[in-house]
């Protein structure tokens, strides 16, 4: 399947999962089992599905053909070379291509001067007014082509100013050429972009070193990275630097997300060569590239982006085949989409399925009660009035004990909430911000890359100590919960699943990972950073911002724990309470006469049937979520449309 078909089927998969979640919401309402926490969790997951997008990033030294490859892969239908690609340095700023349904197609540009401000690019993205906005006329490829020339714009400034902006300039007092724009956003109604694909084009090594956000957040978060080398230059020293400093880090994080392209294989051919000789020379260079990067030969995609673009525009299938673009296309569709599916599976499906299991438990236990009561009612049929009276008495006694445990549950919940309040204070992002800012100020004082590393290490030690403090509170709370659950299980046979406790190790790992990334970056860019306070400052801010968001996540997880830790037990206990009351009522009625008893028995039968039907419906929803059936993409598209 090609990338287009795969993306469409991926989109259908997400839609059918969203449908199943909607069905589950209605089911919960019908079963009087909906709760705020569950409702919020489902809404969160629906949003994840809606917002999910796939980013494919292109990184390489300048002039390797990244932009040409993007044109060939995605934009040949325009019939022209849509994004500017030319010899020498071409793309001057990182460029994101995506589709924004809320507005007419546009190119938005962020001024390079914003680098002297403290705000991150992500922050600027929330504020459209800060960008220079240009409309794109999709009916006129020429107009778009013209507009995109902005991506190449540069300007001349003093070396001093370049330094202030954190851009590496020459050391003398002369003038330097710097990019005019810092970042570009292109919204364009292309079928793949409409399905949630984002393409990230980057300029060469210089830009990576000078825009920490690109290196530390945009590239690492991409689902696929395409590293481009060119056959006409072989693998140069700066290609190797890029590989070692940036691409390998990515590969460690996403072992299946990286593709290495050996572009411009057409340049290995000349008119005097036979096809066989040309194939041999491509093979030889592919092997050599694989050896230099210590990769398998299969991990390298030799191709010609230029030939592919021309062949696609001219609709020349033979030439397209010769360009070997399809190998890369297949890689993107197979690997990337399936690994993204796995991630969503993990994030959305697992959580919803776990919740469905809890709901199933609740209905099963209702069913168990109803069946038990049916037996009791049957038993009463043969019993004397005296025996019925006795049963009434026993049930009343049970009720008293039950109510006592209920009071106990309420007190325990109160204690648990107090402990949670402590925990929330310990991971309070505002407090973390203070630590991060303090660390940052310390680092600002000692502006050597050693100072930065030292300062970063100290701040992270501080953050880790905070996390360790939470460990004791978490343990005490878990013990308390265990005791409560055990009590209701032993004394009242209420056996509900206890939700997973807050686990701090996840955040410890994330902090460690962040620190490692930060240290790696500061080592690789130390030359660029020394004396460049603007760059160093932004780097520290990027790292600090990510540390704060780790704690934000921790806080939100503690809150989830707070609301889920006892909720299913309380729900179950309340159900039991209602059931006990209705049992008492039936017993009282039964003492009044035989007819009443028959009515009760019939009602009970009906209840049993209803509950069974609910369980069946739930099973269908579960199947739909776990393995939505999308047999044929086109059929699926039709059925979704209807
Ligand atoms: N012969 C040949 N030339 C190519 C091929 N792919 C790209 N080129 C040319 O190489 C030059 C550089 O291509 P770009 O796409 O601008 O390279 P880039 O990696 O985007 O470069 P920067 O934007 O500067 O980072 C252009 O003149 C392209 O036409 C190819 O497969 N074969
Ligand atoms: Mg380019």
pLDDT at 134: 97
| 28-42, 305-319, 352-366, 507-521: which is most confident | 305-319
Residues 283-321 pLDDT 10s = 999 999 999 999 999 889 999 999 999 999 999 999 999
For residue 121, the CA-to-ligand 1 centroid distance in Å is 27
**Proportion of the chain above pLDDT 90, given as a percent:** 32
| Residue ranges with CB less than 5 Å from ion ligand 2 | 67, 90-91
Instruction: Specify the range with the lowest mean pLDDT, choosing from 58-62, 66-70, 322-326, 385-389.
Output: 385-389
Instruction: Specify the range with the lowest mean pLDDT, choosing from 1-10, 543-552, 558-567, 568-577.
Output: 1-10
3-state helix, strand, coil in the chain (%, to 5): 70, 10, 20
Give the global pTM: 0.71
CA–CA gap between residue 238 and residue 639 (Å, rounded)? 52
Straight-line distance from the first to the last Cα atom of the chain, in angstroms, rounded to the nearest whole number:
25
pLDDT at 219: 86
Q: Are 210 and 535 in contact (CB under 8 A)?
A: yes
Q: Which residue has the higher pLDDT, 535 or 93?
A: 93
In ligand 1, the atom with minimum distance to the C-alpha of 91 is 23
For residue 85, the CA-to-ligand 1 centroid distance in Å is 6
541 — pLDDT class (breaks 50, 70, 90): confident
CA–CA gap between residue 476 and residue 23 (Å, rounded)? 38
172 pLDDT exceeds 70?
Answer: no
Q: Are 480 and 415 in contact (CB under 8 A)?
A: yes
Cβ neighbours for 567, distance < 8 A, ≥ 6 positions apart: 35, 37
pLDDT at 171: 57
Cβ(65) – ligand 1 distance below 6 Å: yes
CA–CA gap between residue 227 and residue 200 (Å, rounded)? 12
564 — pLDDT class (breaks 50, 70, 90): confident
Q: Give the ligand whose atoms come closest to the C-alpha of residue 303.
A: 1
Residue nearest ligand 1's atom 23 by CA: 91
Q: Give the ligand whose atoms come closest to the C-alpha of residue 62.
A: 1
Q: CA 459, 463, 468, 469: dihedral to nearest 10 degrees?
A: 110
Cβ(60) – ligand 1 distance below 6 Å: yes
Three-class secondary structure of residue 226 per DSSP: strand
For residue 217, the CA-to-ligand 1 centroid distance in Å is 26
In ligand 1, the atom with minimum distance to the C-alpha of 263 is 31
Cβ(95) – ligand 1 distance below 6 Å: no
pLDDT at 58: 95
What does the pLDDT average to over 601-614?
A: 91
230 pLDDT exceeds 60?
Answer: yes
Instruction: Specify the range with the lowest mean pLDDT, choosing from 22-26, 102-106, 262-266, 631-635.
Output: 631-635
Cβ(63) – ligand 1 distance below 6 Å: yes
534 — pLDDT class (breaks 50, 70, 90): low
For residue 183, the CA-to-ligand 1 centroid distance in Å is 20
According to DSSP, the β-strands at 258-263 and 224-230 are: parallel
CA–CA gap between residue 543 and residue 547 (Å, rounded)? 6
Q: Which residue has the higher pLDDT, 300 or 167?
A: 300
For residue 365, the CA-to-ligand 1 centroid distance in Å is 66
527 pLDDT exceeds 60?
Answer: no
Cβ(196) – ligand 1 distance below 6 Å: no
What does the pLDDT average to over 146-156?
A: 94
What does the pLDDT average to over 97-110?
A: 94
Residue nearest ligand 1's atom 9 by CA: 65
For residue 86, the CA-to-ligand 2 centroid distance in Å is 8
Which of 57, 59, 61, 67 has the most ligand 1 atoms within 8 A of CB, as the residue to mutate?
67
Residues 400-415 pLDDT 10s = 888 888 888 888 889 9
For residue 90, the CA-to-ligand 1 centroid distance in Å is 9
Residues 205-229 pLDDT 10s = 666 667 778 877 788 888 889 999 9
pLDDT at 641: 35
Helix axes 385-426, 449-492, angle to 10 degrees: 170
In ligand 1, the atom with minimum distance to the C-alpha of 81 is 29
What does the pLDDT average to over 94-109?
A: 94
């Amino acid at each position: 399947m090609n990338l287009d078909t795969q993306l469409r089927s991926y989109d259908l998969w997400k839609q059918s999962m969203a449908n199943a979640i909607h069905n589950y919401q209605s089911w919960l309402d019908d079963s009087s089992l909906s709760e705020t926490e569950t409702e919020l969790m489902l809404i969160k997951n629906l949003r994840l599905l809606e917002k999910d997008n796939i980013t494919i990033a292109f990184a390489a030294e300048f002039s390797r053909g990244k932009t040409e490859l993007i044109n060939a892969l995605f934009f040949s239908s325009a019939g022209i070379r849509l994004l500017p690609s030319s010899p020498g340095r071409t793309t001057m700023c990182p460029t994101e291509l995506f589709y924004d349904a809320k507005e007419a197609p546009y190119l938005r540009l962020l001024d390079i001067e914003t680098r002297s401000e403290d705000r991150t690019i992500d922050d600027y993205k929330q504020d459209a007014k800060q960008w220079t906005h240009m409309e794109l006329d999709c009916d006129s490829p020429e107009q778009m082509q013209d507009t995109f020339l902005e991506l190449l714009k540069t300007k001349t400034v003093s070396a001093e100013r370049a330094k202030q902006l954190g851009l590496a300039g020459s050391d003398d007092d002369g003038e330097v050429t710097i990019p005019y724009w810092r970042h570009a956003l292109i919204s364009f109604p292309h079928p793949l972009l409409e399905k949630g694909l984002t393409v990230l084009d980057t300029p060469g090594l210089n830009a990576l070193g000078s825009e920490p956000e690109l290196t530390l957040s945009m590239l690492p978060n991409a689902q696929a990275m395409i590293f481009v080398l060119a056959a006409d230059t072989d693998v140069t020293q700066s290609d190797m630097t890029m590989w070692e400093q940036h691409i390998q880090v990515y590969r460690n994080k996403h072992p299946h997300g990286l593709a290495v392209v050996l572009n411009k294989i057409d340049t290995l051919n000349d008119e005097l060569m036979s096809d066989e000789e040309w194939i041999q020379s491509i093979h030889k260079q592919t092997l050599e590239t694989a050896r230099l990067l210590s990769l398998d030969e299969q991990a390298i995609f030799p191709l010609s982006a230029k030939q592919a673009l021309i062949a696609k525009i001219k609709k020349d299938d033979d030439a397209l085949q010769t360009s070997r673009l399809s190998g890369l296309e297949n890689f993107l569709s197979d690997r990337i989409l399936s690994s993204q599916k796995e991630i969503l599976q993990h994030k959305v499906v697992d959580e919803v399925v776990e919740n469905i299991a809890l709901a199933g438990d609740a209905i099963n236990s209702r069913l168990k009660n109803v069946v038990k009561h049916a037996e009791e009612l049957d038993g009463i049929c043969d019993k004397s009035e005296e025996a019925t009276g006795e049963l009434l008495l026993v049930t009343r006694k049970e009720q008293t004990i039950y109510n006592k445990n209920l009071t106990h549950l309420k007190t325990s919940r109160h204690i648990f909430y107090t402990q949670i309040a402590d925990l929330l204070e310990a991971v309070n992002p505002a407090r973390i911000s203070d630590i991060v800012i303090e660390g940052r100020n310390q680092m600002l004082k000692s502006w050597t890359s050693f100072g930065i590393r030292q300062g970063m290490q100290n701040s992270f030690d501080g953050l880790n100590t905070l996390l360790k403090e939470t460990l004791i509170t978490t343990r005490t709370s878990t013990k308390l919960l265990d005791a409560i659950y055990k009590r209701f299980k032993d004394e009242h046979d209420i056996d509900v699943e206890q939700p997973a406790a807050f686990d701090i190790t996840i955040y410890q790992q994330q902090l460690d990972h962040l620190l490692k990334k930060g240290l790696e970056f500061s080592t690789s860019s130390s030359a660029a950073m020394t004396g460049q306070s603007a760059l160093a400052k932004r780097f520290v801010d990027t790292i600090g911002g990510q540390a704060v968001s780790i704690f934000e996540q921790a806080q939100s997880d503690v809150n989830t724990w707070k609301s889920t830790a006892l909720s299913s037990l309380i729900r179950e206990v309340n159900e039991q309470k209602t059931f006990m009351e209705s049992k008492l009522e039936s017993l009282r009625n039964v003492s009044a006469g035989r007819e009443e008893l028959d009515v009760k028995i019939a009602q009970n039968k009906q209840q049993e049937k209803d509950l069974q039907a609910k369980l069946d419906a739930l099973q269908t929803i579960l199947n739909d979520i776990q393995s939505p059936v999308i047999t044929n993409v086109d059929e699926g598209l039709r059925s979704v449309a209807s």
